[in-house]
């Protein structure tokens, strides 16, 4: 399988925050943002693998800034590393100032998707070729995040998480 760049999986979703999507403080519901991120990440994983993809885990979410009613929110997703059948997707969330148009980073998240066949069985995906410094940084740290996720899910023994253990040695 020919390796693919991160850029070729880049997916950008831009949408408004409507009243039905906010909490009593008039900020975007966390669950609504999770859903938007899941959609963008799913398209990104599909672009990389050209297969059916399913969300395997949400590895990290940081709601650093509230997103007010009426904001223009851009969710940008890219595959940060591909393994055998799984892909780590990095999602950056930006809000746009109405007057200046300047974008501010509001949140970020990391999801894992798995490519599957029509019966739901995992299938192989192409390797990912990181190009920019940020893509290389995210690629390098992805293996330890995968090991942490598998340990937390009870799918890997902590002693087998070699890359993760190396952080503490």
**Contact set with ligand COA (CB under 6 A):** 54-57, 83-86, 112, 114, 116, 120, 122, 146, 149-150, 153, 155
First to last CA, the chain: 36
CB of residue 51 vs ligand COA: minimum separation in angstroms? 11
Q: List own/partner pairs for 135-142 with CB under 8 A and 24 or more apart.
A: 135/6, 135/78, 135/80, 138/80, 138/81, 138/88, 138/90, 139/6, 139/80, 139/81, 142/80, 142/81, 142/88
CB of residue 121 vs ligand COA: minimum separation in angstroms? 8
Q: By C-beta, is 56 or 91 nearer to ligand COA?
A: 56
Q: By C-beta, is 19 or 154 nearer to ligand COA?
A: 154
Q: By C-beta, is 84 or 165 nearer to ligand COA?
A: 84
CB of residue 160 vs ligand COA: minimum separation in angstroms? 12
Q: By C-beta, is 17 or 114 nearer to ligand COA?
A: 114
Report the distance separating Cα 81 and Cα 97, nearest Å: 32
């Amino acid at each position: 399988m020919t390796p693919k760049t991160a850029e070729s999986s880049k997916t950008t979703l831009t949408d408004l925050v409507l009243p039905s999507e906010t909490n009593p403080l008039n900020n975007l519901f966390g669950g609504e943002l999770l859903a938007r991120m899941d959609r963008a990440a799913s398209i990104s994983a599909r672009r990389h693998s050209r297969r059916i993809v399913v969300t395997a885990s949400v590895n990290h979410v940081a709601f650093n800034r509230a997103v007010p009613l009426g904001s223009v929110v851009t969710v940008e997703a890219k595959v940060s590393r591909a393994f055998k059948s799984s892909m780590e997707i990095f999602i950056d969330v930006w809000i746009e100032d109405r007057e200046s148009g300047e974008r501010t980073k509001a949140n970020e998240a990391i999801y894992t998707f798995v490519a599957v066949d029509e019966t739901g069985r995992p299938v192989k995906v192409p390797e990912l070729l990181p190009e920019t410094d940020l893509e290389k940084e995210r690629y390098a740290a992805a293996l330890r995040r995968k090991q942490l996720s598998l340990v937390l899910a009870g799918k890997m023994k902590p002693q087998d998480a070699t890359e993760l253990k190396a952080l503490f040695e």
